[in-house]
Structure 1
């Protein structure tokens, strides 16, 4: 399999039940670009290749046309598309009795100097924060601002009259949320909750009831999320955590959401490596889908349910009633085997005598699971065995397990990983050399492992972390995230800087012996380029065989939705590196 073949799949990137039937969006790569189109009842209805976020309002098809700017477009069944408004970005829209509510960003001048007094003045995937996400209303052909400020409107929901917004006003620097009701005429807002919440999605039913997804535990990235029903003053757990923390390198753009219809709330819920749908009704939580799969997108209208799932064998499947639509009938991934170890983990076996690559997920409070992984299947088709697991710190096994790595990065989590590798080798009779790779926290763990172990013959560290102290001053979230993950409050106290350094792979670089490739996006604001540069320089000065690959125009998501030509190149150089060091 070539890298181009690996990325030749189509993924379903939107699903919506409407008065005109089932709408879905598809995304694929063509001529080194992402392409998007809208389908209605299985028939393609847009042809520009840049159409996302479809919906039907008053029997008219709406969608967002992307480009340098975003346009909201209305298209009647037998009419020409009509552009209704234009913004720098459009993230969401919905119908209101006064018009159409739109969540988006205004166009900003990216060439002028930026002056700021804020720590949070940049964010990965957005760059320098020259504009913030705001809520607008399109009324009688005119666009006016409803909610705007030096903060982000992160989500909104409406039943056509009541409007609820989630903003970062509670503490914009660290992303704590406020839940507020908005008067669309005056823009006045009223707080609906108090406390240090992190909210990722909100929904409103026809009666005006409010539900939201999140937790009230403040700066706690390990906290499990629950569905909170505001009027009942209660919260509900779906599986081991509501929503989904199972990662994937599918470029479908899936985001967390809730659907609140009548007295039912529908949410994703995760248990280990599985993600399914749950219904919350009459104070009870009921699991309504079952299987070793990961549901990525869904919609529910009170009668019909539609969802998009991925499995190890199938990248993207649309399910609605008796319909199952597969845009990739020619693609069949190799199913993993479960490894019996103290943590949940899997192996995709090619040949017992072949080399094996261990993958470590990011987060650390994310998880691997029953998803199709483009990269895993690519390496399997090129003759490698693949191992992956969920060490302590992973989400989907309860909050205690998720918190177990806090203050101990590279301790018990590394023990879990190395024990898993040992168990896999013994159970599967693996005989070939071992390589290790991972991104973000997985890049940290790759760097940590090669400074604390000689188990692996080659390593590829992506968008990784080498120095937790310098990251506190350069990352968009490092100043608070690194602190709480290290179990400290103030990262700039001498004793805390010393702890951060002792938790940093670069502190132990003199122990490293493993040939290592470092891959990084130039515009990564989460784990900045300087993290790779430091480790590269240190390894080179220690005489370790090392290569640095830098991708222009890519941020922290370079391996999941980076520039297509960069993603192809990335798989090529990783394959060459592991072939050279693991097959000779």
Structure 2
């Protein structure tokens, strides 16, 4: 695979099964490199392969969020055209034209049908009703006026300022265009609208309307009366946050995901809340795994008296089920060496999107205990650009237990030295509270295609293992659950995995090892090159380099790191300085590539600027690239052209520093 092959990627997503279980609607997204954009359409796939292959239902280039009407005759979807965001309903069978119910300047999310099919609820950003008025004659554009910041977390990467335009819940008739009614509005975002079976209420989650709620941002489950808009909280925990509600068929309880957001990091767990009120009852307490995956997570799915959910488990992402009445323990429903990154069920059909180490996501269904693949979106891609399966390694950790790691060997020895040895790229994931899944990854395919062996792992601090392992990198100064801090056992794990791979595979060249990572992976990259000269070159991307300035207010998550570290930066700034890679910049002698995006709000550009200025003043080998008009998600969802440019820059950099040992510069040379 080459960088330009990004244009060939086809990505199915968000499968939704029709009420009768006979069809699956899904979003299919393609890359249009020439137009520098993504084009997405809604497709329909018969649940029985004998009824034909999947087919496109819409020809739109900005369609998403397909949702079946209760009777299965219509689909609601969101459509973005020329910067306008629409909620559209179209007939699936028979005559009729698509009806645009709503058009807004802000994105429309989470459409959901009322049980009788007469209305749709959705969320969208709306100016706060309590936003302080401020007008200037001749200046009608509010964006040009001063913005009052009256709480923490006032901005969000990818969306900008949200403090004065939180996400509200709207309701609109499902059969005719109309001005949507604002059902619930709050100074904080409202998410996850779910209709009660009788259609009288919506379950939503939002921060409770209390003084200083922004100091913890604990989200509670609320009920909103559809006729009056009255909103009342159901849960009241000061530390347990609730998300993704899903009503039981009898309306007596609501399934949710819960997470401790004060003792962080924590696992998401499946729980039930009685609609009469009360705190959540956790159903998956005995399953010591993350039940809210970073990719593919959704509200718990009611099916045959159980709740279906995905978990992260040692690199795999299987589906589990747990009895909703609390009578049993969670059991694996669908597993394997793969990641299930989307799922839905209705009737006798369970639909899943699965990706494996050598294959991009495809749609499959499980019926009568038999799994059948329905789609072949990437068959031609894999035929032209095959990828060998990586080898799974288990590496002992100084923090206890074993670390999951994977080694991918290149198909070509184009970069082999005169002794036949190959260069190696070590990749560290972001988060840190996520995992590298058993999934096809474009980065690894490109690096392998260029002739590099690729090594990656899930060190302590990742999901996929126990919650204790997840929390092991909290600050050692924390009063609760102290750990080694960032750059402790997690850094030891990465080096241990490197040592194990070099000992296991004699064709790898220890003198030509590169290191790369983004976000927390960028932190780890900068940290390691400040503590060891083992790497011949490194790429630190969208990195967290100065944790103190991030927590002081640089990041859109400023104020959150005190929970993750267990230490307040105001009381102990020394702890944040000690864990900041910039504190060790004088020790960096590894040639370093720095990549960052101008509009990154999670790890703002000053994180890269501080690193670059320091290295430049020290006269070190450093290369810095800034991408305009992009945010923190550049590598995953940035503009196609910039994704290609980014990949080319990375490959060019490592080609210069990791070429055969007889000609490449020695690492550590100023």
Instruction: Provide TM-score, normalisation by structure 2.
Output: 0.82
Tell me if the contact between 1:334 and 1:377 (Cα under 8 Å) persists in the aligned partners. no
Residue in structure 1 matched with residue 208 of structure 2 by the alignment: 169
Moved more, 31-40 or 473-482: 473-482
Moved more, 392-401 or 194-203: 194-203
In the alignment, does 2:284 pair up with 1:224?
A: no
1:295 to 340, 355, 358: 340
Give the match's secondary structure for 1:178: strand
Residue in structure 1 matched with residue 39 of structure 2 by the alignment: 35
2:450 to 382, 390, 394: 382
In 2, the alpha carbon distance for the partners of 1:458 and 1:246 equals 29
Residue in structure 1 matched with residue 466 of structure 2 by the alignment: 398
In 2, the alpha carbon distance for the partners of 1:6 and 1:456 equals 28
Q: Return the offset for 1:120.
A: 1.9
Using a 3 Å threshold, how does the CA distance of structure 1 residues 242 and 393 change in structure 2: closer, same or farther?
closer
In 2, the alpha carbon distance for the partners of 1:156 and 1:328 equals 34
Residue in structure 2 matched with residue 251 of structure 1 by the alignment: none
Q: Return the offset for 1:6.
A: 3.5
Tell me if the contact between 1:200 and 1:256 (Cα under 8 Å) persists in the aligned partners. no
Residue in structure 1 matched with residue 494 of structure 2 by the alignment: 417
Q: What pairs with 1:517-528 in structure 2 (closer than 5 Å)?
A: 517-528=593-604
Residue in structure 2 matched with residue 323 of structure 1 by the alignment: 372
Residue in structure 2 matched with residue 46 of structure 1 by the alignment: 58
Using a 3 Å threshold, how does the CA distance of structure 1 residues 478 and 216 change in structure 2: closer, same or farther?
closer
Q: Return the offset for 1:326.
A: 2.5
Give the match's secondary structure for 2:317: strand
In 2, the alpha carbon distance for the partners of 1:221 and 1:550 equals 32
Q: What pairs with 1:105-254 in structure 2 (closer than 5 Å)?
A: 105-106=125-126, 110-129=143-162, 130-139=164-173, 141-160=178-197, 161=199, 162-169=201-208, 171-172=213-214, 174-195=216-237, 196-231=239-274, 233-237=281-285, 239-245=287-293, 254=296
In 1, the alpha carbon distance for the partners of 2:638 and 2:142 equals 23
In the alignment, does 2:76 pair up with 1:62?
A: yes
Instruction: Give the number of equivalent residue pairs.
Output: 575
Q: Return the offset for 1:220.
A: 3.3
In the alignment, does 2:119 pair up with 1:99?
A: yes
Residue in structure 2 matched with residue 447 of structure 1 by the alignment: 526
Q: Which runs of 5+ in 2 are unaligned?
A: 46-53, 128-140, 275-279, 397-402, 414-419, 476-484, 665-670
Residue in structure 2 matched with residue 345 of structure 1 by the alignment: 405
Give the match's secondary structure for 2:437: coil
Tell me if the contact between 1:358 and 1:434 (Cα under 8 Å) persists in the aligned partners. yes
Tell me if the contact between 2:152 and 2:559 (Cα under 8 Å) persists in the aligned partners. no
Give the match's secondary structure for 2:336: coil
Q: Return the offset for 1:302.
A: 4.6
In 2, the alpha carbon distance for the partners of 1:238 and 1:463 equals 36
Moved more, 399-408 or 20-29: 20-29
Aligned-residue CA RMSD in angstroms?
2.0
In the alignment, does 2:380 pair up with 1:312?
A: no
Using a 3 Å threshold, how does the CA distance of structure 1 residues 211 and 333 change in structure 2: closer, same or farther?
farther
Tell me if the contact between 2:222 and 2:231 (Cα under 8 Å) persists in the aligned partners. yes
In 2, the alpha carbon distance for the partners of 1:514 and 1:111 equals 44
Residue in structure 2 matched with residue 540 of structure 1 by the alignment: 616
Residue in structure 1 matched with residue 569 of structure 2 by the alignment: 491
Moved more, 118-127 or 98-107: 98-107
In 2, the alpha carbon distance for the partners of 1:468 and 1:365 equals 16
In the alignment, does 2:88 pair up with 1:73?
A: yes
Q: Return the offset for 1:224.
A: 1.3
Q: Return the offset for 1:505.
A: 0.8
Q: Return the offset for 1:491.
A: 1.2
Q: Return the offset for 1:109.
A: 5.2
Q: Return the offset for 1:393.
A: 0.6
Residue in structure 1 matched with residue 11 of structure 2 by the alignment: 11
Tell me if the contact between 2:421 and 2:509 (Cα under 8 Å) persists in the aligned partners. yes
In 2, the alpha carbon distance for the partners of 1:349 and 1:200 equals 41
Instruction: Provide TM-score, normalisation by structure 1.
Output: 0.94
